[in-house]
């Protein structure tokens, strides 16, 4: 029987081989890293002014306008975020090329997310890659098929270019496992990035991705979003497909979790919700609730003069929450 280290090594090798060699930091830089590493991409000298501008100054909504208006190509944008994140696969580069070729040939974007680089939580399967959900025993768990959410993103024109760390077994407010180790906060490496979608939150805080997909069952999107100063949205279960998403104890009755978007702006969350609903995912995944709008109120402006209303259920007839 292979030892734990023998199980881990192939997963680490696969991760390391996906790093962009042009974005590897020098030993001197690594040895003198400050606790706050947000400015390392700008100070290390590895990124061009254009790459810095693309990754730092625009949210996903702006980037999609630039792609559709041919102010930037999908390949240039992917390379900028790939360098920033230092993780990408060959298939993602081919997807970006296909986006550029389609736009050049037809004059029309593939879909509402045309050419946009998007990262996803590690538990979200990508065909041809291993998905371990943080479990050493699953370190070599090769996926034969994309998760449904990945298929939907590609259909909408997005380029899924990276997967990010999560804790073993999920349902944890920090992000650490015995394969990839701990994900720390980019603003202070002595602190946690939160969990369980801490990898997405940390990468977004480093401006290594414009839009990400996480998972939440008890705060796994909300907590990292709060700790990192970004936006996260947890839709009602049954709205975003969890097909081919690796979770522990699959098939057992439990609290129902859900996938959801993480972004740099509220309008990007609304953008994802509109785009995803437009793909009509419930036609392929019949467990989903048909809904043309994932969240009608998300991104909508309040009418002038009307107060904001927040609904609170103090007692549902079964459970009464304790006072704070």
Closest-CA residue to 120 (of 159, 75, 94, 64)? 159
Sequence-distant (6+) residues with CB within 8 A of 293 are 273, 274, 277
Name the strand (E) or helix (H) holding 213: strand 211-216
Cα 323 to the chain's mean position, in Å? 35
Helix (H, G, I), strand (E, B) or coil at 259: strand
Sequence-distant (6+) residues with CB within 8 A of 91 are 128
User: Are 66 and 57 spatial neighbours (Cβ–Cβ below 8 Å)?
Assistant: no
User: Are 149 and 120 spatial neighbours (Cβ–Cβ below 8 Å)?
Assistant: yes
User: Are 277 and 241 spatial neighbours (Cβ–Cβ below 8 Å)?
Assistant: no
Closest-CA residue to 121 (of 96, 151, 150, 89)? 150
For residues 159 and 120, give the distance between their C-alpha atoms in angstroms, rounded to a whole number.
11
Task: Please give the positions annotated as active site.
Answer: 121, 196, 220
For residues 277 and 41, give the distance between their C-alpha atoms in angstroms, rounded to a whole number.
35
Residue 177 bridge partners (DSSP)? 181
């Amino acid at each position: 029987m292979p030892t734990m280290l023998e199980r881990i090594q192939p997963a680490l090798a696969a991760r390391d081989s996906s790093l962009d060699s042009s974005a590897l930091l020098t030993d001197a830089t690594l040895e003198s890293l400050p606790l706050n590493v947000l400015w390392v991409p700008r100070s290390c000298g590895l990124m061009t002014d254009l790459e810095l501008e693309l990754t730092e100054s625009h949210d996903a909504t702006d980037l999609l306008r630039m792609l559709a208006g041919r102010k930037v190509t999908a390949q240039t944008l992917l390379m900028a975020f790939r360098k920033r994140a230092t993780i990408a696969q060959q298939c993602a580069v081919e997807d970006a090329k296909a986006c550029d070729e389609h736009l050049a040939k037809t004059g029309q974007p593939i879909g509402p997310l045309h050419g946009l680089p998007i990262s996803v939580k590690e538990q979200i399967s990508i065909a041809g890659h291993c998905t371990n959900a943080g479990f050493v025993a699953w370190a070599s768990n090769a996926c034969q098929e994309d998760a449904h959410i990945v298929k939907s993103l590609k259909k909408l024109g997005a380029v899924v270019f990276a997967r990010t760390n999560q804790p073993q077994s999920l349902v944890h407010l920090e992000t650490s496992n015995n394969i990839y180790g701990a994900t720390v906060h980019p603003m202070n490496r002595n602190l946690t990035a939160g969990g369980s979608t801490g990898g997405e939150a940390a990468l977004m805080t480093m401006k290594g991705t414009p839009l990400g997909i996480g998972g939440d069952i008890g705060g796994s999107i909300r907590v990292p979003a709060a700790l990192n100063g970004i936006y996260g949205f947890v839709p009602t279960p049954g709205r975003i497909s969890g097909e081919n998403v690796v979770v522990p104890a699959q098939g057992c009755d439990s609290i129902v979790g859900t996938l959801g978007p993480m972004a740099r702006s509220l309008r990007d969350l609304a953008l994802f919700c509109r785009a995803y609903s437009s793909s009509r995912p419930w036609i392929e995944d019949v467990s989903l609730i048909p809904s043309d709008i994932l969240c009608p109120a998300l991104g909508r402006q309040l009418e002038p003069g009307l107060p904001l209303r927040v609904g609170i259920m103090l007692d549902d007839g079964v459970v009464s929450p304790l006072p704070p």
